[in-house]
């Protein structure tokens, strides 16, 4: 009986591995998708900043040009001051000069803000570039590892299935059908160790008699409550 139990436990490990391989078909592509998205997002963040920087630089140039034009205009008005003849002309020119000055002043404020923005973006771009390069390097490595894992799932599954076949031929049919029924019905482990004088899966307590029978190990007993196959393990059961 001990040997059959060992076979069942081996079978259980194989089935667990097969389950994990099956699950990895779902989560490995998800992980790959996340890694690819991270690269894409870092790239977009970098590209957007580069674009914003170009826009800000163009704005800066335009403002500088506009200020120069307005300053030339101001100079022209100030020269006209010399040849003013009437009070009316004087008032009109002063108004023009004030308006140009106000215009220059607001453009200068805008220019300073734009220069700050250019500085900020230039700094950000440095950081974003480092982040992009690191993300690309790390994620590409991880992606190739994950891809290899995905590519090897088929072979691993076939290998495990062969192992499984070999083991199941050594397990009596009746025991196999109990194992399969519990595994499919309950999910998780079908063979569990006794724990604190109870079933290790559903915690239903066991009679002293039953524990004794399980310890003796000449027969594989099942839990009355959940139907799982029970065994005694000196390290777990105590």
Count the residues of the shown chain that bind Zn ion, applying the rule CB under 5 A: 7
Q: Which secondary structure element, helix H or strand E, spans residue 236, and what is its range?
A: none
Residue 229 is a binding residue for Zn ion (CB under 5 A): no
Q: Which of 175, 179, 59, 41 is nearest to 107 (CA)?
A: 59
The mark string for 122-151 relative to Zn ion (x by CB under 5 A, - otherwise) is ------------------------------
CB 218 within 8 A of CB 181: no
Residue 63 or residue 201: which is nearer to Zn ion going by CB? 201
As a whole number of angstroms, the distance between CA 202 and CA 128 comes to 53
Q: According to CB under 5 A, which residues from 176 to 215 bind Zn ion?
A: 199, 201-202, 204
Nearest distance from C-beta of residue 192 to Zn ion, angstroms: 7
Residue 61 or residue 204: which is nearer to Zn ion going by CB? 204
Nearest distance from C-beta of residue 49 to Zn ion, angstroms: 60
As a whole number of angstroms, the distance between CA 65 and CA 58 comes to 11
As a whole number of angstroms, the distance between CA 205 and CA 107 comes to 84
Residue 42 is a binding residue for Zn ion (CB under 5 A): no
Residue 39 or residue 226: which is nearer to Zn ion going by CB? 226
Give exposure, 64-101, as e/b (b: 16+ Cβ within 10 Å).
eeebeebeebbeebeeeeeeeeeeeeeeeeeeebeebe
CB 97 within 8 A of CB 78: yes
Nearest distance from C-beta of residue 237 to Zn ion, angstroms: 14
The binder of Zn ion chosen from 24, 52, 103, 225 (CB under 5 A): 225
CA torsion 44→49→52→54, rounded to 10°? Answer: -110
The binder of Zn ion chosen from 39, 125, 226, 233 (CB under 5 A): 226
Residue 230 is a binding residue for Zn ion (CB under 5 A): no
Q: Which residues bind Zn ion (CB under 5 A)?
A: 199, 201-202, 204, 223, 225-226
């Amino acid at each position: 009986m001990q040997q059959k139990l060992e076979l069942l436990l081996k079978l259980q490990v194989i089935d667990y591995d097969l389950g994990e391989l099956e699950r990895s078909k779902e989560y490995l592509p998800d992980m790959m998708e996340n890694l690819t998205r991270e690269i894409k997002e870092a790239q977009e963040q970098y590209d957007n900043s580069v674009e914003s920087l170009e826009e800000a630089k163009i704005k800066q140039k335009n403002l500088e040009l506009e200020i120069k034009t307005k300053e030339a205009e101001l100079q022209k008005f100030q020269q006209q001051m010399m040849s003013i003849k009437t009070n009316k002309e004087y008032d009109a020119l002063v108004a023009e000069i004030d308006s140009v000055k106000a215009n220059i002043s607001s453009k200068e404020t805008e220019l300073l803000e734009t220069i700050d923005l250019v500085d900020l973006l230039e700094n950000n771009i440095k950081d974003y570039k480092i982040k992009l390069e690191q993300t690309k390097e790390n994620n590409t490595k991880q992606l190739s590892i994950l891809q290899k894992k995905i590519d090897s799932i088929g072979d691993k599954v076939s290998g495990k299935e062969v192992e499984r076949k070999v083991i199941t031929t050594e397990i009596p049919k009746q025991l196999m059908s109990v194992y399969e029924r519990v595994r499919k019905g309950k999910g998780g482990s079908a063979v569990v160790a006794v724990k604190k004088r109870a079933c290790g899966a559903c915690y239903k307590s066991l009679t002293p008699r039953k524990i004794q029978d399980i310890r003796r190990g000449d027969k594989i007993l099942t839990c009355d409550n959940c139907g799982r196959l029970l065994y005694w393990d000196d390290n777990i059961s105590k």
